Structure 1
Amino acid sequence: MRLAFTKMHGCGNNYIYFNCFDQTIPEPEALSIRLSEPHFGIGGDGIILISPSDKADAQMRIFNADGSEGKMCGNGIRCVGKYLYDNGMVGERTTVTIDTLSGVKTLELFTENGKMVTARVDMGVAILAPRNIPAAFDGEHVIDAPLVVDEKVYHITCVSMGNPHCVVFTDEKVATLDLARIGPKFEHNPLFPERVNTEFVNVNPDGSLQMRVWERGSGETWACGTGACAVGVAAVLNGHAQKNQDITVHLRGGDLTIRYTDETVFMTGAATTVFEGEIEL
């Protein structure tokens, strides 16, 4: 069996995309583990399936590098929008809808010379109630709450943007953190029954945010769109930023712009096609 694929990334968050309008992908969980491996596979943070939907222009399913299925991927959804537009699957429309396990998301596409360059995604309402994140904390929200991890006290803010996030503002330089050691201790903490994505953040003098992320199921990635949204929301909740204003989040793979309003969270960023190919299974 030969499968056609497209390698794409949003700010370095790179996935292997399969057009499932034209082909069927067998055992996506196992396939994601196999293909994400950089030495014996294609290499990436996982695979994303682009399929027909009866309530949107397309459906997106995300499988992480460990085979687990994710509910939402902010960088991935921009790439899906680019794939649909660049391949003529939505005509010349610059407003498209994508069906995800976190609901239908709307994208505004910005194009040049017939190709999508950037997209603004309506990511939906930020979820703060611990029971809905889920996170095993009491109360209506978790904002700047102390959490002991590996005998050290961190102050965390918990947000769900379709995926659970634990945001840590720190004075330590995030660039030098030993994320491979610290990240799994957050991911597998029993307070997070579905595991958690963890963002470590510095507030820069100009008000922008420097972020590194440990993603459940994938480890450290160069970017996380839902994570950047969670960081923007957490920055407002902790007094580091204002609602209804653009917040620049610097990730290892590039910048995202986040705007937190009373109604929703908007994320704007680029999407890039790396190459297309076929793989024989």
Structure 2
Amino acid sequence: MNNSLKFYKYQGTGNDFVMIDNRNEIFPISQTYIEHLCHRRFGIGADGLILLQNDPEYDFRMVYFNADGREGSMCGNGGRCTVRFAEDLGIFKHETKFIAVDGKHTAQANKEVISLKMGEVHSLERHTEYDFMNTGSPHYVTYATDIEVVDVFSEGRKVRNSEEWVNRGGTNVNFVQVIDNETIYVRTYERGVEDETYSCGTGVTASALSTNLRFGMKSPIKVITKGGNLQVSFEDNFQNIHLIGPAMRVFEGILE
């Protein structure tokens, strides 16, 4: 490994990521090393690490790792941060197309927000107590009358580690409170981080689509998270889904 490697820290509504420009492919991919970099006491501290890499057919490739160092499924806020990172690197202006673990994405960028086109929804299930769907990552969506008093860590971990969901490969767990006929508040327990995060893009997307199914809430749906505000827009039958919100660089540094 080189003696030094530049890293960048980005956040999108409080979901924070270590970003590496890995177009020269010199970053040493190792679960232990990535977990160390994401550690909030002994490393840089982040919900995940993202490599921006070359791809012959796209502007770039996004490779996402959870805070536990394992390669993860699609991350919506991470996707928006990667788009901002690519824009900051001069890879594109205004519009881009890139490839991630769940396939092709397009995005538009302006000073205020990144609008990221999400993938198709898979594995949609409706249950009395919850909805489940895969919006790039698997999401269990349930409802609360007062979201501030929900113990997201304990309740989320209980579902996440239940026999059913372990056997099914794991899930993220979202708690949703309907604020009014166009706004919801979402809190998420994220697998891979194994804790509540300030925001979760694929979870916000799943939660918004669930409120459309349950309550007929219309696009665009405003979403409050601990880390800030997002919007989810979509067309009939959940086509052309966009996750819209801010993403910005926090700081940069050198890995020795």
* 26-35 or 94-103, larger mean C-alpha shift: 26-35
Query: 1:248, CA displacement in angstroms?
Result: 0.4
SS at match of 1:264: strand
| Counterpart amino acid of residue 162 in structure 2 | N
* Contact 2:25–2:53, Cα closer than 8 Å, also in 1: no
| The 10-residue stretch of structure 1 (60-69 or 12-21) with the greater mean CA deviation from structure 2 | 60-69
Q: TM-score, with normalisation over the residues of structure 2?
A: 0.93
Equivalent position of 1:95 in the other structure:
95
The 5 A counterparts of 1:37-186 are 37-90=39-92, 93-111=93-111, 117-127=112-122, 129=123, 141-143=124-126, 145-146=127-128, 155-171=129-145, 173-186=146-159
In the TM superposition, what is the alpha-carbon distance from 1:188 to its structure 2 partner? 2.0
Q: Does 2:161 correspond to 1:188? A: yes
Mark the runs of 5 or more structure 1 residues left unpaired by the alignment: 112-116, 130-140, 147-154
Residues 140-187 of structure 1 show CA distances to partners (whole Å, capped at 9, x for unaligned) of x422x24xxxxxxxx11001111000000122x222221221111111
Instruction: Please state which structure has a larger fraction of its residues in helix.
Output: 2
Task: Calculate percent identity across the aligned residue pairs.
Answer: 30
- Tell me what 1:29 maps to: 31
Question: Given the alignment of the two structures, is residue 235 of structure 1 paired with residue 211 of structure 2, yes or no?
Answer: yes
The 1-side partners of 2:234 and 2:161 are apart by 28
The answer to whether the 8 Å contact 1:3/1:23 transfers is no
Question: Secondary structure of the equivalent of 2:210?
Answer: helix
Query: Aligned match of 1:273 in 227, 238, 249?
Result: 249
User: Contact 2:9/2:18 (CA < 8 Å) preserved in 1?
Assistant: yes
- The whole-number CA distance in structure 1 between the counterparts of 2:61 and 2:32 is 20
Give the match's secondary structure for 2:209.
helix
| Distance in 2 (alpha carbons) for counterparts of 1:191 and 1:79 | 33
Deviation at 1:28, TM superposition (A): 3.7
Unaligned runs of 5+ in 2: none
**Secondary structure at 2:217's aligned position in 1?**
coil
Regions of 4+ moved over 3 Å:
none
Q: Does the aligned pair in 2 maintain the 1:201–1:210 contact within 8 Å?
A: yes
C-alpha separation in 2, matches of 1:156 and 1:206: 20
User: Does the CA contact (< 8 Å) of 2:102 and 2:119 recur in 1?
Assistant: no
Q: Confirm or deny: 8 A CA contact 1:3 1:278 kept in the other structure.
A: yes
| Offset at residue 98 of structure 1 (A) | 1.7
Which residue does 1:133 correspond to in 2? none
- Contact 1:61/1:71 (<8 A) preserved: no
* Coordinate RMSD, CA, aligned: 1.4
**Aligned counterpart, 2:229:** 255
Match for 2:54: what amino acid?
A: P
| Amino acid in the other structure paired with 1:253 | G
Larger displacement relative to structure 2 (194-203 or 255-264): 255-264
Q: Does structure 2 retain, via aligned residues, the 8 Å contact 1:21–1:52?
A: yes
Aligned to 2:174: 199
Distance, in Å, in 1 between the alignment partners of 2:98 and 2:44 is: 25
Are the equivalent residues in 1 in contact too, given 2:181–2:217 (CA < 8 A)? Answer: no
Equivalent residue letter for 1:78:
R
The SS at the match of 1:238 is helix
Aligned length: 249
